Amino acid sequence: MRKSPMSTYTNFTVETDADGIALVTWDMPGKSTNVFTEAVMDELNAIVDAVVADGAVKGAVITSGKSSFSGGADLSMIKSMFSLYQQEKAANPDGAAQKLFDLVGRMTGLFRKIETSGKPWVSAINGTCMGGAFEMSLACHGRIASNAKSVKIALPEVKVGIFPGAGGTQRVSRLADAQSALQMMTTGQSLTAARARAMNLVHQVVEPDQLIPAAKQMIKDGLKPVAPWDEKGFKAPGGGIWTPAAAQLWPAAPAILRRETSGNYPAALAILKCVYEGLQVPFDTGLKIEQRYFTEILQTNEAFSMIRSLFISMQELAKGARRPTGVAKTELKKVGVVGAGFMGASIAYVTAAAGIPVTLIDRDIEAATKGKSVGEGLVKDSIGKGRLTQDEGAALLSRITPSADYADLKDADLVIEAVFEDREVKKAVIEAVEAVLPDGAIFASNTSTLPITGLAKNSKRPADFIGVHFFSPVEKMMLTEVILGKETGDKALAVALDYVAAIKKTPVVVNDTRGFFVNRCVFRYIHEAYDMLIEGVPPVMIENAAKMAGMPVGPLSLNDEVAIDLSQKILKATVADLGEAAVDAKHMALINKMVDEFDRRGRKNGKGFYDYPAKPAKKSLWPELKTFYPQKKAEEVDVEVLKQRFLVTIALEAARTIEEGIVTDPREADVGSILGFGFAPYTGGVLSYIDGMGVKAFVALCDRLSAAYGAHFKPTALLKDMAAQGETFYGRFDPYAKEKEAA
């Protein structure tokens, strides 16, 4: 094998073997994964030119030097695209869209250049291959994927408010049948290598060690350097648009999409348009159609807000944006979890899954061992789904040690308490743990309702005491609230964030308050549904309006999941702590009736706002609910107003947490609201929802709703001030202010 003169690149190495095949290895220095940047595109463009110019090179194989192939576009490049557009719009409104159009066409043009270079290119996919990286692979003449479990192939752009805009909509729909293509792109689903092969998106699936030899062999075997759609007489799978099968698919597709998204996601609809229009024209015209729609979508509020929250902010928070500087990173060697109930057992499982040994403590060894069995069930499920091998599952479980002896925590770096929500029970645990916990170790309470500062009064070391609030089911929910007590120190925060990063969850840091951030917002959502029930809005309209507003589940269904008797306990505790006036008496009467009179506690006892029949029958709203209050006729209820009420009441509560200093970074409010309880993702989160419509318009909407539906809709002093000043949350509470000052 000889090094070719093409090998002087920063992000790629190029080696040409004796057969004249160039191996292009993408391996960005200092990054854990490859991403597309301006520099990467410049270098790839130069490599394509060099491959074409060198007569000794017969073709090229592109692969990754990292364990994954590539995650797609770099967030800084996406960010710069938005800022460039905003600057251009301010300076030259007429030319701004054209500038954006030219900008988004760059990647499309580069990939088309590979495709029409006249020499064969093969993409050798060795790991995760997402977004623009898979669009590049689709532009190669051959695609080979490793059969390793780590291989995930996807075009997930719709999840962040955009769509595959570098040829993805045109190539996938010309390789796979239209229905599968639409399903893949409108959901952003991940494909295994085998599924991608079945969809005709990759040509071969091989053992990992055969990946490069097989890719080179494709070229040796005479791989034609022409894409199928550039051949004369090409027809899309299934015959394209004007066929009997297409006549069944296309009228239904927009209706199905509307059913799934309520029209809230412009990018998903743009995918349908790109495929439908693109399949009727030559390929290059199809690319131009896609480029126009992509330019249009990038100018939407949904795309801007979703990319900011679900792509940029989420990565920044996961990488420790709120971690105190100057505190050394903690490599956790052992974690203790006290309380082996379902929550504690699940926390132990995710800790062990992150490779950290964990001691699971309960009152006796039987209870602790029963807690470990939760992990055993999760491991069995993962093995059954092919996510873990038998050996990996056994290794994970070996890291969970059940115990009834607090002395086993004497060498723990972090102990998480996950016992019953009772101050006295937690006090006893805090004292027992601190009796053995080494100096410098951190104590974390997993509490959903009790303020951390109050619990820390039971601690002899409040600086090392912090809240780490998990959401159920722990193994699936990606958010963790990290709660600072009044005396919590920087080291405790740093360790908590290091732990959350280790278990691969996204943290939001909040100051101490009743219900913290997420539960305060969640209960506003649920309480608005109580108001609607009391007004006589039919329960089914309440649930459907919430889903149409973009919420993943209706508020009554959500209340059943969290338990109606828990709502009762929280209302009673609020009255006990703050007095009768702190709770709506009608809410209390409704919940007391559900729990005390009808014993309807939610899903856990098989009856709540919904009935839960034996499977396979589906749950349905409890018919008797309609008899509680005089019912309005459907035509008397404005669904648009119901949707507004749900989103506004949650966003208002989030604004209150900012005003009270509970949440200090708007990124955390937005990401926390989406990951914590699924707040309408297309808005970008609670504060982006307000910023998106403009604070002035939001205040006016609050005024209208408060006049009609109650004082809880009144805008706060902060919102009124921001409206008068023409401010936004991301302007007034700029999360990058310190960085800008430093620069």
Max distance between CA atoms of the chain, in angstroms, equals 85
**Alpha carbons 733 and 739: distance in angstroms, whole number:** 13
Strand partners, 741: none
What are residue 9's phi and psi, to 5 degrees? -130, 160
**Strand, helix or coil at 660?**
coil
Q: How many residues does the chain have?
A: 743
Cα atoms in the Cβ-side hemisphere of radius 13 Å centred on 37: 15
**Cβ-contact 62, 128 below 8 angstroms:** no
Which 3 state secondary structure label does DSSP give 129?
strand
Has 712 been annotated as catalytic? Answer: no
DSSP 73: B
Q: How many Cβ atoms from other residues are within 10 Å of residue 572's Cβ? A: 14
User: CA torsion 55→59→65→71, rounded to 10°?
Assistant: 120
The encoded tokens of residue 101 equal 């159009």
Rounded to whole angstroms, the Cα distance separating 683 from 687 reads: 9
**Which residue bears the tokens 């928070």?**
317
In degrees and rounded to multiples of 5, residue 383 shows phi and psi of: -65, -45
Rg, the chain, Cα only? 28
> Taking Cα atoms as reference points, which of 195, 475, 223 lies closest to residue 351?
475
- Which one is catalytic: 141, 469, 527, 587? 469
- Nearest Cα neighbor of 46 from 102, 131, 117 is 117
Q: Which residue has the tokens 């005479």?
A: 222
Instruction: Give CA–CA dist 115/130, Å, rounded.
Output: 19
Question: What angle separates helix 539-548 from helix 518-535, to the nearest 10 degrees?
Answer: 140
Cβ–Cβ contacts within 10 Å for residue 29, how many?
6
Strand order in the sheet with 335-338: 400-403, 358-361, 335-338, 414-417, 442-445, 465-470, 479-484, 506-511
Residue 97 tokens, joined = 């869209």
Spacing of C-alpha 175 from chain mean position: 29
Sheet bearing 21-26, strands edge to edge: 2-3, 12-16, 21-26, 59-64, 121-125, 142-146, 204-206
Say how far apart CA 368 and CA 402 lie, in whole Å. 5
Output DSSP code: residue 451. Answer: -
Element (H, E) at 39: helix 38-53
φ, ψ for residue 12, nearest 5 deg: -135, 150
**Beta-strand pair 12-16/2-3:** antiparallel
What distance in Å separates the CA atoms of residue 613 and residue 621, rounded to the nearest whole number?
A: 11
Are 77 and 131 spatial neighbours (Cβ–Cβ below 8 Å)? Answer: no
Q: Is the dihedral of CA 262, 263, 264, 268 positive or negative?
A: positive
Active-site residues, by number, are: 469
